[in-house]
Structure 1
Amino acid sequence: MTDVDASIPYHEHWRLCVEAFKEVSKFAEDYGVTLALQNHPPIIESYEDVLDMIEEVGSDALKACIDPELLIWVRDVDPSGGDVLERFKAIYGRVGKLLVHVHVGDSIERPGKFIMIPAGGGSILRASRIERAPMGTGMFKRIVKPFAEALKSIGYNRYVSYEICSPRYLKHKLIDFLEVEYEIVNGVRFLREFLS
């Protein structure tokens, strides 16, 4: 967990977020708007944090957006494990009717920097680096079938959108709009195969 501001303890960040969501949720209620809280670090690490935040805020206007790619990033789901379908069913089943939106992206995990631990007698750790990838070319292709089945199992019948985070790089170069358009067309084609 990385704090947004290291001088403020995590629990204080959490409290500030609860206060802010209570305030904006009141506006959302007044205007008939539904807010979707995503399982996105650094304050919200897990889908369980999303559920805890929604409970603490206590507003019918605050619901959930559970991103399957982020479930992998924070290790709620192991894409190489044998229980991917069961994990997705458990997670999305627990979120249930609070789930009002899902967006998906794709990424690959690469070896990251070596980190020397000075007090560790010369120990070295290897960090991993997560890179965004065109839809269907990374980790998501390993989980798309169980992900789709889990959504169907809870009766989810809302939108699933394709998220391309920016800036996007391909082979260490910033991609242009034509490449983004190409990724969108192919990404939508890939998703329709599994989600229709």
Structure 2
Amino acid sequence: MREHVSRSLGLLPAIALVIAAHQSPAQDPARGYQFTPVLHSVSYAGVWRGQAQLTLDQFLVKAKELGFSNVEVVAKRPHLAPLDYNAEGRKRLKTRLQELGIKIVCIAGYSDFTAGSEKPGIPSAEIHAIYVGELARLARELDAPYVRVFTGYERPGVPFDVQWGTVVQGLKMASRKAAEYGVTLVVQNHHDIAIHPDATYWLLKEVNEPNCKAAFDAWSPALQGINGKELADAVRKMAPFMAYTTVADYVKHPRYRYDLTLVNYIKQDDVVRAVPFGTGFIDYGAFFGAMKQIGYKGYVAYEMCEVLEGGGSVENLDRTARKFLEKFNELAK
């Protein structure tokens, strides 16, 4: 009996963690903010060196096992590629989600509105607007409120303002198409165009579509040297557009190249590696503090999308996802 009780008590921390994932103190409606944890399927997509790859169904089962009831899903292979899901496939997926008690809250699109912009005859903005529109259709059929989009990578040899204008035009068209399905686009600060917080804010004002919002992350400004108080200021500025955020944590490893003629090392750009949430250089205390100040009520997605401390085994990914929930519940209080 004593052994049985001891084993039962040993399970309490794990049980408490699962309960916390569903009943975080941040869910208290009396508070002025509300943070809901989300697991991004890129965390199990096999996209980086050594990372395990799960099928979409395996990922959904994994999310439930870890204590997540909300997920963001990669809208490409090996997960939710629109090409692989016809009407019947989407119905089956929706039924499966209901069986598991899992909700897809965001479809992760992979747009690059400036792709082909060096060729004037290629309708880059239209092509990506159609693509995003199809993702919005998919989102509606799966009851997902958001589609995550990117801006565009900067192309050499093309005037910057031409590329900026292409992104604005594309986001406008994509937003209007998404509106037909009752879906909101969230622009992640990920690609080159409008990557600085001030530029992101300007871009969204210029697009000026009611369903085009910000998926504003902390890691991107932090890599640009915007951290601590400056990061908090950026969150406060983004408040009118803030609708979604994705978190991850990183460390920087200095790099040097040996120069034989100098008998010395020349400094190169740092390489960035992923580490468990809360153990890297990004000031998430400042970020979450500012999110509380602006009264953010929404989703906080966690992703493991780069080479991770401990490797890419399922066991390490699971362990790191659980650590995220622990730190998330601390920050969300």
The answer to whether 1:161 aligns with 2:301 is yes
Aligned partners of 1:115, 1:63: CA distance in 2, in Å?
46
Secondary structure of the structure 1 residue equivalent to 2:318: helix
Shift of 1:192: 1.0
Percent sequence identity is: 22
Hey, what does 2:217 align to over in structure 1?
67
The answer to whether 1:6 aligns with 2:153 is no
**Cα gap change, 1:193 to 1:180, in 2 (>3 Å):** same
Conserved? CA contact 2:153–2:191, under 8 Å: no
Hey, what does 1:80 align to over in structure 2?
none
**Cα gap change, 1:7 to 1:124, in 2 (>3 Å):** same
Q: Which has the larger radius of gyration?
A: 2
Hey, what does 1:99 align to over in structure 2?
242
Conserved? CA contact 1:115–1:127, under 8 Å: no
Aligned partners of 1:194, 1:175: CA distance in 2, in Å?
26
Choose the corresponding residue for 1:90, options 233, 240, 263.
233
Q: TM-score, normalised by structure 1?
A: 0.80
> Which has the bigger relative contact order, CA under 8 A and spacing at least 6?
2
Aligned partners of 2:206, 2:231: CA distance in 1, in Å?
24
Aligned partners of 2:195, 2:270: CA distance in 1, in Å?
17
Choose the corresponding residue for 1:44, options 169, 194, 200.
194
The answer to whether 1:181 aligns with 2:324 is no
Aligned residue identity for 1:164: M
Conserved? CA contact 2:255–2:271, under 8 Å: yes
Aligned residue identity for 1:176: S
Conserved? CA contact 1:37–1:63, under 8 Å: yes
Conserved? CA contact 1:93–1:154, under 8 Å: yes
**Cα gap change, 1:51 to 1:110, in 2 (>3 Å):** same
Hey, what does 2:279 align to over in structure 1?
137
The runs of 5 or more residues in structure 1 that have no matched partner are: 78-83, 117-121
Shift of 1:125: 4.0
Q: TM-score, normalised by structure 2?
A: 0.49
**Cα gap change, 1:160 to 1:18, in 2 (>3 Å):** same
Conserved? CA contact 1:108–1:132, under 8 Å: yes
Aligned partners of 2:290, 2:279: CA distance in 1, in Å?
21
Aligned residue identity for 1:144: Y
Conserved? CA contact 1:36–1:100, under 8 Å: yes
- Root-mean-square deviation (CA, aligned residues, Å) is 2.5
Shift of 1:57: 1.3
Conserved? CA contact 1:3–1:42, under 8 Å: yes
**Cα gap change, 1:169 to 1:103, in 2 (>3 Å):** closer
Aligned residue identity for 1:101: Y
Aligned partners of 1:125, 1:55: CA distance in 2, in Å?
39
**Number of residue equivalences:** 178
Aligned partners of 1:22, 1:152: CA distance in 2, in Å?
30
Deviation readout 1:78-130 (Å, 9 max, x if unpaired): xxxxxx2x3234212211131001111000011124397xxxxx994432222
The answer to whether 1:150 aligns with 2:290 is yes
